[in-house]
Amino acid sequence: MRKLFLSALLVAGLSGCTAVGDFFKPYRIDVRQGNFVTQEMVSQLKSGMTRDQVRFVLGTPLVTDVFHADRWDYVYRYQPGKGSLQERRLTVIFEGGQLARLEGDVRSGEVPPQP
């Protein structure tokens, strides 16, 4: 009888491992990478601004391409410890050394978007 009780207890304990495993998950930190660009920052941009003025408002771009010197990419990724991945992208296009247009997730009413 004692063996039967112990085996029933063992089966009950093993069947509950998934619930126990969910409870004892390791702590995962929030990971933030890239340039955090807000809507207020983008709303300060105006057509015709120089590269230095744009850099002052948005900060140094995360990605600058040697082959496309007139394009700056601001990329932001946020992976919370619990939850889904969030990504934001903003591309700044210059023509003649001045701000021409913006592309990406964050938009401003001042700079006309590219169709």
pLDDT over threshold 80, residue 24: no
Q: Which amino acid is at 6?
A: L
CATH of domain 28-104: 3.30.1450
pLDDT over threshold 60, residue 19: no
Residue-wise pLDDT tens digits, 52-86: 999 999 999 987 888 988 999 999 999 998 889 98
| Residue 108 bridge partners (DSSP) | none
Q: What is the 3-state secondary structure (H, E, C) of 63-115?
A: EECCCCCCEEEEEEEEECCCCCCEEEEEEEEEECCEEEEEEECCCCCCCCCCC
Overall average pLDDT of the 10-36 stretch: 72
The residues spanned by each domain of the chain are 28-104
pLDDT over threshold 50, residue 112: no
